[in-house]
């Protein structure tokens, strides 16, 4: 039988009401979650590594989780956490996962105190995906609601539906049906592993919008801990003329990455020419995130900076990882 390592970090899947009528809090560990699944066609080595809401997830916990998973020498690795930052966890682990062994991240939208909690089915599916040899070499996968997503594309697109995760516009990689995984697409070749080192400092995301003078970006970037900034820009990578002035001033000393705030579709490179357009920001020296959204761009930029990347490396890596290939 395959051996699967299971690490739990908390989240709704591990939550139950603290007391009658109270809100849900993390209460269940790895053994509790596994105990609810009955007999399984695999051996599972389970460990509770944390019990937190995923808004409190951090790089240090995820690096501990990655190292624990690698040490188990299993056939697959399942990571359980809250859905709120699950897309960032999956992308971060995907950047730094050095092995062919599949990693599958899952969670739940309904805690165990609600009717029809989805945690048990999601966990059962994640174990199935992790144990399947066809999942090897695909990097980090995410499964919820029977869909299987690539870490590269997945995002939480609804705050409460069971069908909360989307890989728009690429679509899911596959599905779990009758306890078997079915892949619709092969995985593209994986880019080189990127693990980082010193994750100190801050890489904030600043969203562009209406009546935007650039003052927020200017004040955020002035903080001494800031090592780089991601702009969640309007449309295909556009900002106001005031924000464009601020970016022009920042770019010589601070990496500025521009992503689209739309939730799907890439930043453009050469369609518009007004001050604040994508081509004007590129001419200033800003880096475009391509198909990566601002959240993933933040994870990639922080990891690159943690690895000591120079400006040219950042530009090259965003070109390689933010593009479709």
Residues at the interface with ligand GLU (CB under 6 A): 10-12, 53-54, 82-84, 107-109
Is the CB of 123 or the CB of 194 nearer to ligand GLU?
123
Consult the annotation and say whether 84 binds a ligand: yes
- Output the six-digit token pair for 228: 């780089």
Rounded distance, CA 130 to CA 124, Å?
Answer: 10
Consult the annotation and say whether 167 binds a ligand: no
Residue of 8, 12, 128, 243 with catalytic role: 12
- Output the six-digit token pair for 143: 């499964």
Residue with tokens 């995923």: 54
**Nearest position to ligand GLU, beta carbon:** 82
Closest approach, Cβ 119 to ligand GLU, in A, equals 9
Q: At CA 321, angle to CA 246 and CA 87, rounded to 5? A: 85
List of residues 6+ apart from 264 with CB closer than 8 A: 168, 169
Is the CB of 10 or the CB of 76 nearer to ligand GLU?
10
Closest approach, Cβ 154 to ligand GLU, in A, equals 14
> Comparing C-alpha atoms, which of 16, 13, 18 is closest to residue 30?
13
List of residues 6+ apart from 325 with CB closer than 8 A: 188
Is the CB of 92 or the CB of 318 nearer to ligand GLU?
92
Check if 143 is active-site: no
The dihedrals phi and psi of 73, each to the nearest 5 degrees, come to 55, 45
Closest approach, Cβ 93 to ligand GLU, in A, equals 16
Is the CB of 53 or the CB of 322 nearer to ligand GLU?
53
Question: Cα torsion for 88, 91, 93, 94, to the nearest 10°?
Answer: 170
DSSP string for 59-109: HHHHHHHHHHHHHT--SEEEEE--STTHHHHHHHHHHH--SSS-EEEE--S
Rounded distance, CA 1 to CA 80, Å?
Answer: 22
Rounded distance, CA 75 to CA 131, Å?
Answer: 6
| 112 secondary structure, DSSP code | T
Consult the annotation and say whether 312 binds a ligand: no
Is the CB of 107 or the CB of 276 nearer to ligand GLU?
107
Active site residues: 12
Q: Which residues are known binding-site members?
A: 54, 83-84
């Amino acid at each position: 039988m395959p051996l699967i390592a299971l690490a739990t970090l908390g989240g709704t899947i591990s939550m139950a009401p603290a007391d009658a009528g109270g809100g849900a809090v993390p209460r269940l560990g790895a053994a509790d979650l596994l105990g609810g699944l009955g007999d399984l066609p695999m051996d599972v080595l389970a460990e509770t590594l944390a019990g937190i809401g995923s808004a409190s997830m951090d790089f240090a916990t995820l690096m501990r989780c990655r190292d624990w998973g690698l040490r188990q020498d299993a056939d697959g690795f399942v990571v359980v956490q809250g859905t709120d930052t699950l897309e960032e966890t999956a992308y971060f682990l995907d950047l730094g996962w050095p092995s062919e062994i599949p990693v599958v991240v899952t969670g739940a939208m309904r805690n165990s105190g609600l009717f029809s909690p989805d945690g048990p089915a999601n966990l059962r599916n994640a174990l199935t995906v992790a144990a399947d040899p066809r999942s090897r070499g695909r990097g980090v996968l995410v499964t919820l609601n029977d869909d299987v997503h690539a870490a590269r594309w997945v995002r939480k697109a609804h705050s409460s539906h069971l069908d909360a995760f989307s890989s728009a516009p690429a679509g899911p990689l596959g599905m779990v049906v009758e306890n078997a995984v079915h892949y619709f697409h092969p995985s593209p070749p994986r880019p080189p592993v990127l693990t980082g080192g010193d994750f100190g400092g801050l890489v904030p995301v600043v969203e562009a919008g209406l009546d935007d003078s650039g003052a927020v970006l200017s004040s955020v970037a002035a903080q001494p801990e800031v090592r780089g900034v991601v702009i969640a820009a309007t449309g295909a990578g556009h900002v106001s003329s005031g924000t464009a002035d601020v970016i022009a001033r920042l770019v010589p000393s601070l990496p500025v990455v521009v992503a689209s705030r739309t939730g799907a579709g890439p930043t453009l490179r050469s369609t518009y020419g007004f001050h604040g357009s994508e081509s004007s920001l590129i001419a200033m020296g800003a880096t475009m995130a391509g198909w990566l959204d601002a959240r993933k761009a933040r994870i990639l930029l922080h990891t690159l900076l943690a690895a000591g990347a120079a400006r040219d490396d950042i530009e090259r890596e965003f070109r390689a990882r933010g593009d479709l290939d």
